Structures are given as structure tokens and as C-alpha cells.
Amino acid sequence: MVLLPFPRRYPTNRWLQLAGLVLTGGLLGGCAAVGRLPNLEPGNYQFFRTNDPALAAAIGKEGTVYVEQKHDSLEFLIEPPNSTPRRFTYPLHRGQHVILLDRKFDLDVFTIPFKARPPQGPVPVQLNTNFNAALYFGRRLDFYHVNSRLLLNGQQQPQVRTVGLGYGLFTGLGSTIINPDVTNQQTKVAEYEGFVVHVGAAAIYDARIFNLGLAIGADQLLGPDGPNWVYQRKPWFGVLFGLDLN
């Protein structure tokens, strides 16, 4: 019997391909599941858009209205300043839609699957896949598209679709490979994982359960090799992925 040596690890591109397939599949399944809501939560919304001129005229120039869904209708409560509140019911019909906007602050915990670092001197473009985590705080914009669809039995059923976008800042902790090549040959250790603190800004796609974002940030390497690290406080680009804490 001939024993073949067991490979110590897969090539990096094999890991990246596998991670990409898993992430893509998860996102496609997640978008299908969380892109729709059974009902619109009652509350204050900013009236964003409608294709029904009668509804637009009824709401007027009021930016914020109270909306509550009741079966196949929306009930609006408008409270203009120094005026009598108005309440009316708007039946949902096929071909007509209402888009409402909800603005709020957002607090999330993210992982950063990878960081792409631009070339620095003799060091080419690097892809850092070490552990990275971040705490994100920003502004979230939830758009609710409310309309009605025709079922096979001839009845109309309200449907609510949602899309969330956000922007904000993040900070967190992570690690990166440190060796002589990235420290101008100044480190006294052949190779080790250094401890970094990162800060940056991100644009987020919020799907109510998971969040995906594009980020730009910079790292601060802690320890004696920090001043010699070629990526010290240099920008990197990456992807953020996490769960909504709200």
C-alpha cells in the first residue's frame, strides 16, 4: 500500500470559490425570503411615491403620515400643524402602488470576509481573509412597496415588498499576516498573525435579517512592527456581512 501525503490546506482560490458559492446561494435564498412582508407594520412613514394621482392629492404636501394596514386597505392619518387631523381609508387595487419610507438609526455587528489591499511598493495587491469583526452604526432607509396582486381564484391580495439601504461608520478588531515582506524586512519573526484595529465607512444593503455592505477602511497594526508595516493606516476595500441587532 502506498500512502499519499494528505494536503495541508486547499489552495486559496479553491477556498475563495467555495466561499463565493456559499455566499451567493445564501443571498439568493435570503432575498427571496425576506424581500416580502406579510403585512405593513403600523407606524409613521414618509410618503415617498404613488402612481395614483388621487392618493397623492389626498395626502398633499405632508411628508410624514401615520399608516396602518387593514386587510386590503391602508388607513392614513394626517396631522398637519395647526390644523384638524384627517383620516381616510385607501383601498388597494391592482395596478396601483404606494411607496413608503421609514428612516431610522442602525446598529449592526459585521464580519469582514476579506479585505483587498492595494499594492504598496514591491508588495502586490493582497487579499486578506483573516478574521475581522466590526461594529457598525449608521442610518437606514427602508422602502415599502405596497400594492395588490390578482390570485388564481380571482381575488386580490395585498402584498408588501421591502428594500433597505444604509450608510454609516464602523470600527472593530481583526488580524493579519505579518512577515518580513510587509514590514520592509524589519520584523524579527518569520511570520505571525498581527492584531489590528480598523475604522471606515460602508454602504449597506439591509434585508431585515442579514446585511451586506461594501466598505472602505484603514488598519492600525498594534505592536512593535506597526511603524514598519507597509499597510499601516493605508486604505483597503472589502465586504461586510452580518445580522441586524435591531
Strand 86-91 vs strand 36-37: parallel, antiparallel, or unpaired? Answer: unpaired
pLDDT computed for residue 29 by the predictor: 38
Q: All 3 cell numbers of residue 162?
A: 421591502
Sign of CA dihedral 30, 32, 35, 40: negative
Q: Are 213 and 181 in contact (CB under 8 A)?
A: no
Looking at residue 158, its pLDDT comes to 87
pLDDT in tens, the chain (246 residues): 334 443 334 344 444 444 444 444 444 333 334 577 788 999 999 999 999 999 999 998 877 899 999 888 999 999 887 778 899 999 998 889 999 999 999 888 899 999 999 999 889 999 999 989 999 999 999 999 999 887 777 677 889 999 999 999 999 999 999 999 999 999 989 999 999 999 999 999 977 677 889 999 999 999 999 999 999 999 999 999 986 655
Distance CA 154, CA 148 (A): 12
122 residue type, one letter: P
Beta carbons within 10 angstroms of residue 128's beta carbon: 21
Please give the pLDDT value at position 36: 79
pTM recorded for the entire structure: 0.75
Contact 220, 234 (CB under 8 A): no
- Give, in order, the Cα–Cα distances in Å from 36 to each of 164, 168, 183, 188, 233: 12, 25, 50, 55, 41
pLDDT the model gives residue 75: 95
The DSSP annotation for 145-195 comes to EEEEEE-TTS-EEEEEEEEEEEEEEEEEEEEEEE-GGGTTT--SSS-EEEE
**Phi/psi of residue 233, each to 5°?**
60, 25
Q: What pLDDT is attached to residue 231?
A: 96
User: With contact defined as beta carbons under 8 Å apart, do 140 and 185 qualify?
Assistant: no
H/E stretch holding 29: helix 12-34
